Chain A
């Protein structure tokens, strides 16, 4: 790992703040569903927090992101406000999409969050187009597409990597390899030994990193961002990780290897990261406790804001199908 891109102490602290927010938000989401206060399909990202936190830290607000159903961590990392997020996943009018997108279709262009898709493998072709736009405008913005390991077996993945490489697009393909696609293990579904190896076929760098290690993940992200900004084209990053709570919240996990799962949970990247900050003297226990408490308060506020927000009126049923005044 090149030290050129290693995060300094402030950067590392910044990544942790994002990680702490993502972890707390996932825990709250599961709690709110379990207590019956909200009903929604929920794809827990618990265990994968370091990847988007490090990636987002390597980006600016102006950069773009296209993500998937398991992408709330990506969006929070990129700066989606908690109130808007919670109102949307509650299907309320104050949500980012007036409640019409829901957890699988969040959009927040203000922070570059352009598309969230529920279709496996579809984040990449659209990310290419956004990156093409940046290339045409010469505005130096980078686009990140996130997806899972399973998505790399979809045709769109291959079409997208090929086109991005031929056109030298400023795009980063960030695979969050949590070793499962739905209930199927990586080995059963993917012929390539490593997702990163697939980059070779498209003449672009393919790197596999420990996505749970903030230093390694940040370095890979920075290197890819710099490459994209310099006009050197796309990078495929395979960030290794593990999801703790099954595919969709409520699934029984019977298909998962219990030992593997236990080992992954024992190596939970969040407390490890937290301990590291203290060990390296980057933050004190008291500082972290204060940050975490503030996050809880912000989430409390967001949940209450969301539940107090109105449902969209029924006129929304046929609004936004076409531009206003252009109704079919």
Chain B
């Protein structure tokens, strides 16, 4: 963990709830009781129907790799240069939303589209953990 890496701003209300849960090892997505859609990233309203009644749903933390890239050069966020090569992916959770994260716990060459993954929280500060994903143990 390097100090000059970008971290979430936990002052913002809806984001604060997401990150507080993540720091406790819980991955949250939002569900709309009015139109039954789920959404990610979190917002104070449903981006499908505009309802303000959105609720948090705890994700099982399992899904698969929808698409990914292996970062070879840290062109815009130089603080990540020491990590290359690393995998940035969008993971499609079983709850039906896609989440930007990293695939960790395996060689980048082992990652492919469709790979089953499960959440693995990466504690970066005392009160912050980032939800990352590793290959699932059970197929």
Partners in one complex: no
